[in-house]
Structure 1
Amino acid sequence: MTEDRGKAEIRDLAAEAGSLTEFAFRQIRADIIAGRFPSGVKLQIEDLKARYGLSASPLREALARLVSQGFVQIENQRGFRVAPMSADDLADITLARKVIETAALKRAFERGDDAWEAGILAAYHRLERFVQRMDNAPVENLGEFGELHKAFHVALIAACGSPRLLDEQARLYDQAERYRHRMMTAYLLEIGIGIMDEHKQLMELVLARKAEDACAMLDHHLDHTYQFCFGSDTAQTAPP
């Protein structure tokens, strides 16, 4: 009995440690995306402990995850720093997204069925309703918008049949989130429901099974964040 209780306690501690790491990861990531930790700022473990009420261990594990996702950089013997933002960085992210997402969309056209189409319709509807509620209202939860927007883009390629393509799309989407946060604040405040026009066109092209037109629109659509942040087309500035 004593041995079994000891094993159960170890499992409980491991589960708690994992949940604390996940909490730290989500909180630091959200603060980086929202700009509360500016580009290039050093992340001091002692400051993070005070800010989030956590010990050093889950914070270091969370920072290591954020390094792998491109939000944080590790400095030899000098700790962690928020990854810098730049036109070159976003151009490279956008270029990679275009390659990954258009390839995945082409495969989704080949494999997609009625359930795939229903998933796209449902994801669009949830995103549209959120934007309608935000029209002419203060922007309070861009995080929720980000999740719904990401879900729509995932739904477009969900039938591609490649877990690696889906994983890479998710990773690149997340890396662009800091830049997109700037853009969406302005869109939801100033443009409101107009943001859905292109998403609707993209959805309709996919549901009409117009693969070539849909891929061309997706390629164009992915340029918008760069255009908003840096004022030109990524095709002119992307690294070779």
Structure 2
Amino acid sequence: MSRRGDAKSLVHDVSRKLRQSIFEGKLKPGDRLQPGVLSKEFGTSTTVVREALILLGNDRLVRSSTGQGYFIPRLDPVELRDLTKVRCHTESLALTLAIERGTLEWESELTAAHHRLTRTPRRSPNESRHSNPEWFKAHRDFHAKLIEACGIEVLTDFCDTLAAATELYRLWSGPIAASATKARDVEKEHADILEAVLARDAPRATALLVAHYTTTVDNLLASWPVAVKDVAE
């Protein structure tokens, strides 16, 4: 049961536990999330659970609709392709501006973010087929830091929204497209992007970033019939 305490802490605790269940594959795309059932499971109120679900909704890991309540979004290959196209365009612009405007302090923070990413295990210690939530956070922080120095808040906010919208797809691309990604060196991809950024080579950096995103999508879509079957089981 959740311990008594500050309501905000309880909300974040329930949100963290639900996020962990999603990352470990215990909750899958299409699964319904009933506040009444979850409140009994976590030993807290339905109000706390609903607020936790709203937090997860901000990251596009949970959605809600009239008649369906809360649920894990289903995977849609057309949506994934479209979101990735928009993300590639917006982040290419943001990264180009960040390279033009970024300071030495930004370079240092970006290098530190990359270091944290390289030192964080990619797979969950509880389930080797699924990504480690801490790695996902470090990965998202690195990509956010890449474009931060562009200095245009509305642009970085939009990029963050797109990143959140594709997170569930990236999460599931690990276990369901593993065979297609064995030869891929994601760590080197990140290192190469960082190297190009520090060299202030915007064309190369943006090309590498776009390739990084599209490779993930191509690998997942290449296994899509298997992917749909796996996430439904």
In which range does the TM-score fall when normalised by the shorter chain? Answer: 0.7 to 0.9
Q: For residues 202-236 of structure 1, what are the alpha-carbon distances to aligned partners after superposition, in whole Å with 9 as ceiling and x for unaligned?
A: 1111111111121111111111221121129xxxx
Alignment partner for residue 208 of structure 2, among 212, 217, 232?
217
Distance 1:53 1:144, change over 3 A: same
**Could you tell me how far 1:157 is from its partner in structure 2?**
1.1
Q: Which residue of 1 aligns with 2:188?
A: 197
Q: Given that residues 105 and 156 in structure 1 are in contact (C-alpha distance below 8 angstroms), is that contact kept between their aligned partners in structure 2? A: yes
Q: Cα RMSD over matched residues?
A: 3.1
Q: In structure 2, list runs of 5 or more residues that go unmatched.
A: 224-233
| SS across alignment from 1:37 | coil
| SS across alignment from 1:38 | coil
Q: Which residue of 2 aligns with 1:49?
A: 39
Report matched runs for 1:88-127 at 5 Å.
88-127=78-117
Q: Which residue of 2 aligns with 1:172?
A: 162
1:37 aligns with 2:27: yes
Percentage identity across paired residues of the two chains: 33
Q: For residues 8-37 of structure 1, what are the alpha-carbon distances to aligned partners after superposition, in whole Å with 9 as ceiling and x for unaligned?
A: xxxxx9x82222222223322332343322
Q: Given that residues 32 and 70 in structure 2 are in contact (C-alpha distance below 8 angstroms), is that contact kept between their aligned partners in structure 1? A: yes
1:158 aligns with 2:148: yes
| SS across alignment from 1:223 | helix
Distance 1:22 1:132, change over 3 A: closer
Which AA in structure 2 matches 1:222?
Y
When Rg is computed on C-alpha atoms for both structures, the one with the higher figure is 1
Q: Given that residues 122 and 132 in structure 2 are in contact (C-alpha distance below 8 angstroms), is that contact kept between their aligned partners in structure 1? A: no
Q: TM-score, normalised by structure 1?
A: 0.77
Q: TM-score, normalised by structure 2?
A: 0.79
Report matched runs for 1:61-100 at 5 Å.
61-100=51-90
**Could you tell me how far 1:40 is from its partner in structure 2?**
1.2
**Could you tell me how far 1:192 is from its partner in structure 2?**
9.4
**Could you tell me how far 1:56 is from its partner in structure 2?**
0.3
**CA–CA distance in 1 between the matches of 2:68 and 2:186?**
42
Structure in which a larger fraction of residues adopt helix: 1
**CA–CA distance in 2 between the matches of 1:133 and 1:29?**
15
**CA–CA distance in 2 between the matches of 1:113 and 1:48?**
46
TM superposition outliers: structure 1 runs of 4+ over 6 Å: none
